């Protein structure tokens, strides 16, 4: 527990100098460092709960790091109205994020809370040695055990409980990540986040309320009810969304605790600029989806070139939309329209092309209507054949796409304009009953009589002003346009 004293550091630094020189010729920024480089000082590791990540390690030398994890068995929220008894490393799922530096020596203590029902232990994949520490940390309730290891290999590693039956301990949430930062450090970024996926097997189906028990049969069959990030549905949505700003560089430390499923990790709307796949040293660039095995990890880096919500999913996509594997990274800021414009238009798709189209006219002369009633009756048929698909049989239209004809101010304020629209079509922005529409209506190719009939029908319906449109009026508008 003794904190590093400045005096101690200074002494050990002075003592290290000859050793550093002896290695010879190493660049000052990244001095080569032997695996047996002497430890200097000691410190207590900063541990964080997801999605927080401990600060980057700025030391240029290995040290002795103390890590203490407490195992507790706690009832917590799995989803709204759904609770589960999680077994945890540090009180939540995933367990605490541990960050050490390559060549550090870690003094690890595992405490099993007296209220625990089970013995527990920890297998850190970052450990070189039998059992990864499992055997050395097998701990009865109300006891604590400790062991030391040297962090030889840099990388991002899962740790988990390995007490038999190991599947149940992992299925109850006993996993987390330990980062062994390479001695030269990781490139600086603006934001780092901690995300771990896990699958859960409950006695009740997804969403069934109440305290849910572990269902061993489902676990054996590998059919989870929940697949979630950071231990619960909605752990990173709404007010819990990961927060960043436009222009930030982001690093996600992603693990998969399993116990069973392999994750197809993807962020909707982003491309990973760099992925340290499998949590190792090699980098793949420009990755859409990276596979994260159960008991494995990946480090995903990307720049938020524009603002908005970016959705973290397991792209085995039913898990995202039906089992909870979904989180949100919100980038505040102004949109970079060159990168992403947002929706510019939603237009009717016309296979013939984008301009106003003419629907072929049937040249058969229609019998002239003798009365307004005959005109309305004939117009109703024309409406059904030509108009109802978009403006709807009851004239209400489709919000944001097709304007209403019922009680329509645009229709009622100008009969000649209405005739013109039916004859020639309409393209561009119009405001109808206070709503703006920006679509294309094709030329319908109706003759004067049919045009007069359909408009008379429309004006007679749906609380419109009831005027009769004659074929002479239509002819006049047609002539005026030509």
Partner 1 sequence: MKHAVLFLACVAGFVRGEEAADTAPVPPEMVRVEGGKYLPMFGDRDQSRQVAPYLLDRRPVTNADYLEFVRGHPKWRRSRASRLFVAENYLGHWAGDLEPGPGAPADAPVVLVSWFAARAYLKACGKRLPTEDEWEFAARADATRADATGDPAFLARILTWYGKPNPPVLPAANTAEADFRGVAGMHGLVWEWVRDFNNQMVTGAARNDASLDRSLFCAGGAVNATDAANYAAFMRYAFRSSLEGNFTVTNLGFRGARDLAPPTTP
Closest approach, Cβ 259 to partner 1, in A, equals 11
Positive or negative: CA dihedral 313, 316, 317, 320: negative
Closest approach, Cβ 74 to partner 1, in A, equals 7
Closest approach, Cβ 1 to partner 1, in A, equals 20
Check: CB of residue 56 under 8 Å from CB of residue 17. no
168 binds partner 1 (CB under 8 A): yes
Task: Tell which positions 72-111 bind partner 1, by CB under 8 A.
Answer: 73-75, 85
Among the candidate windows 45-53, 130-138, 223-231, 264-272, which touches partner 1 by CB under 8 A? Answer: 130-138
How far apart are the C-alpha atoms of 316 and 310, rounded to whole Å? 17
Q: How far is C-alpha 310 from the chain's CA centre? A: 5
419 binds partner 1 (CB under 8 A): no
**Considering beta carbons, is residue 255 or 395 the nearer one to partner 1?**
255
Closest approach, Cβ 73 to partner 1, in A, equals 4
Closest approach, Cβ 78 to partner 1, in A, equals 14
Residue 300: strand pairing partners? 252, 275
**Considering beta carbons, is residue 202 or 386 the nearer one to partner 1?**
202
**Considering beta carbons, is residue 140 or 359 the nearer one to partner 1?**
140
Closest approach, Cβ 255 to partner 1, in A, equals 17
Site string for partner 1, 133-162 (x = CB under 8 A): -xx--xxxxxx------------------x
Check: CB of residue 202 under 8 Å from CB of residue 225. yes
| All residues at 6 or more sequence positions from 203 whose CB lies less than 8 Å from its CB, including other chains | 212, 213, 214, 215
Closest approach, Cβ 98 to partner 1, in A, equals 20
Check: CB of residue 173 under 8 Å from CB of residue 76. no
**Considering beta carbons, is residue 61 or 218 the nearer one to partner 1?**
218
Question: Count of residues binding partner 1 (CB under 8 A)?
Answer: 36
Closest approach, Cβ 65 to partner 1, in A, equals 25
| All residues at 6 or more sequence positions from 142 whose CB lies less than 8 Å from its CB, including other chains | 112, 113, 114, 116
| From 88, 121, 439, 473, residue interacting with partner 1 (rule: CB under 8 A) | 121
Among the candidate windows 6-14, 17-25, 67-75, 175-183, which touches partner 1 by CB under 8 A? Answer: 67-75
| From 31, 54, 91, 119, residue interacting with partner 1 (rule: CB under 8 A) | 119
DSSP per residue, 240-298: GSEEEETT-EEEEEEEEEESSPPEEEEEET--EEEEEGGGSS--EEEESEEEE-TTEEE
Task: Tell which positions 187-226 bind partner 1, by CB under 8 A.
Answer: 213-217, 220
Nearest to 269 by CA among 220, 305, 319, 320: 305
**Considering beta carbons, is residue 142 or 466 the nearer one to partner 1?**
142
How far apart are the C-alpha atoms of 310 and 266, rounded to whole Å? 10
| All residues at 6 or more sequence positions from 47 whose CB lies less than 8 Å from its CB, including other chains | 54, 67, 69, 90, 96, 97, 98
Footprint of partner 1 (CB under 8 A): 73-75, 85, 114-119, 121, 123, 130-131, 134-135, 138-143, 162-168, 172, 213-217, 220
């Amino acid at each position: 527990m003794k904190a590093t004293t400045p005096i101690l550091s200074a002494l050990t630094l002075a003592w290290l100098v000859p050793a550093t020189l002896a290695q010879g010729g190493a660049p000052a920024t990244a001095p080569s460092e032997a695996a047996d480089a002497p430890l200097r000082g000691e410190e207590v590791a900063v541990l964080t709960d997801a999605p927080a990540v401990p600060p980057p390690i700025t030391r240029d030398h290995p040290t002795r790091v103390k890590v203490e994890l407490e195992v507790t068995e706690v009832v917590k929220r799995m989803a709204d109205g759904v609770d589960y008894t999680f077994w945890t490393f540090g009180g939540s799922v995933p367990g605490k994020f541990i960050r050490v530096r390559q060549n550090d020596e870690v003094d690890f203590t595992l405490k099993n809370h007296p209220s625990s029902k089970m013995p527990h232990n920890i297998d850190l994949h970052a450990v070189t040695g039998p059992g990864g520490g499992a055997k050395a940390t097998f701990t009865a309730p109300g006891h604590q055990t400790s062991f030391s290891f040297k962090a030889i290999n840099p990388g991002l590693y899962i740790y988990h409980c390995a007490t038999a039956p190991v599947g149940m301990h992992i299925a109850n949430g006993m996993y987390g990540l330990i980062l062994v930062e390479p001695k030269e450090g990781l490139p600086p970024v603006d934001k780092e986040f901690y995300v771990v996926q896990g699958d859960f097997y409950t006695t009740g189906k997804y969403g069934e309320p109440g305290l849910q028990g572990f269902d061993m049969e489902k676990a054996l069959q590998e059919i989870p009810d929940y697949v979630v990030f950071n231990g619960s549905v909605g752990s990173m949505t709404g007010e819990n969304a990961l927060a960043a700003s436009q222009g930030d560089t982001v690093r996600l430390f992603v693990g998969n605790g399993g116990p069973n499923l392999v994750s197809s990790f993807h962020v909707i709307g982003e491309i990973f600029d760099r992925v340290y796949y499998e949590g190792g040293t090699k980098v793949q660039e420009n990755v859409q989806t990276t596979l994260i095995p159960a008991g494995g990890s990946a480090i995903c880096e990307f720049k938020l070139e524009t603002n908005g919500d970016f959705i973290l999913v397991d792209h085995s996509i039913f898990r995202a939309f039906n089992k909870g594997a979904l989180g949100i990274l919100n980038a505040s800021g102004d949109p970079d329209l060159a990168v992403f414009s947002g929706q510019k238009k939603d237009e009717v798709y016309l296979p013939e092309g984008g301009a106003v189209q003419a629907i072929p006219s049937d040249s058969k002369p229609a019998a002239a209507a003798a009365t307004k009633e005959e005109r309305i009756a004939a117009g109703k048929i024309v409406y059904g054949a030509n108009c109802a698909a978009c403006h709807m049989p009851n004239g209400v239209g489709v919000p944001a796409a097709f304007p209403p004809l019922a009680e329509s101010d645009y229709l009622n304020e100008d009969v000649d304009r209405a005739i013109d629209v039916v004859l020639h079509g309409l393209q561009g922005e119009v405001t109808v009953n206070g709503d703006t529409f920006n679509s294309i209506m094709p030329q319908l190719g109706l003759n004067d009589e049919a045009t007069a009939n359909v408009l008379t029908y429309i004006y007679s319906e749906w609380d419109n002003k009831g005027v009769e449109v004659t074929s002479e009026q239509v002819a006049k508008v047609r002539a005026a346009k030509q």
